Amino acid sequence: MHAARNLRLCTKDCVCLFICPTGATNTENGQIDFEKCLDGCRLCVDACSSGAIYLVSSTYPKPQPKEEGVVKAIFDLARSKAEQEDVARSISEASDDAALRQICSVFEQSSRIIGEDLWRESGYIIAQSEATRTLLKTMIKEHGNLEGFPLEEVEELLSRLS
């Protein structure tokens, strides 16, 4: 578990620099040095008067089991949202009307966000899960031979997420 700084909240009071035992809070890029940060130390988190520092977990508990009926119904909606993205994009690509293209772009973006949220609540809320590992393995099996599939990256990802 390491500390991280929310730069939007940081008011540069620099108490974290004063209090950090390892100097992890003092960096050029404004973010905390995760490698130097002591696991779960949290001195800076508690000292920051702006509430700009928080802890990021290294491990997560197993996601709560989901009822099959819920997941199926959510998958169906996610599919519909993806189809709507496809339709909106297709309308847009066939048109030179800037106003119509703008409306389609709004529709496409909003549908993607709604869709991602649906995936999140159907068992893919965090990447460190059995569901995600199974997903990546199946993608390798089904699409690993297709041109342009980022096989090396996906295999690396699998080892990082294990």
Partner 1 sequence: MDADVRQMTWTELEALCTNLEKACSKQLRGEEAAAFAKLASFYGAKKEVKDNASIADLVALINADLSEGYARANKEAAAANDRGAKRALLWGEKSSKLLKSLLARYEKQGAALTENTGVFVCEICGFVYVGEAPPDICPICKVPSFKIHPVRKEAI
**Region 115-144 residues binding partner 1, contact defined as CB under 8 A:** 115-127, 131-132, 134-135, 138-139, 142-143
Q: Angle of helix 98-120 relative to helix 68-93, nearest 10 degrees?
A: 160
| Binding residues for partner 1, total number by CB under 8 A | 82
Asked if residues 122 and 71 have their Cβ atoms less than 8 Å apart, the reply is yes
Beta bridge partners of 3: 55
- Phi, psi for residue 62 in degrees, rounded to 5: -60, 135
Minimum CB separation from partner 1 for residue 65, in Å? Answer: 10
The CB-side HSE value for 7 (13 A sphere, CA atoms) comes to 6
Query: Of 28, 69, 145, 162, which lies in the binding site for partner 1, with binding defined by CB under 8 A?
Result: 69
Minimum CB separation from partner 1 for residue 41, in Å? Answer: 17
Minimum CB separation from partner 1 for residue 42, in Å? Answer: 16
**Residue closer to partner 1, measured from CB, 18 or 75:** 75
Minimum CB separation from partner 1 for residue 29, in Å? Answer: 12
DSSP state letter for 18? H
**Residue 106 binds partner 1, judged by CB under 8 A:** yes
**Residue 7 binds partner 1, judged by CB under 8 A:** no
Query: Of 39, 67, 145, 162, which lies in the binding site for partner 1, with binding defined by CB under 8 A?
Result: 67
Largest CA distance in the chain: 60
Please state the length of the chain: 162
Minimum CB separation from partner 1 for residue 16, in Å? Answer: 16
Closest by Cα among 56, 61, 36, 35 to 45: 56
Q: Which positions from 12 through 51 interact with partner 1, judged by CB under 8 A?
A: 31, 34
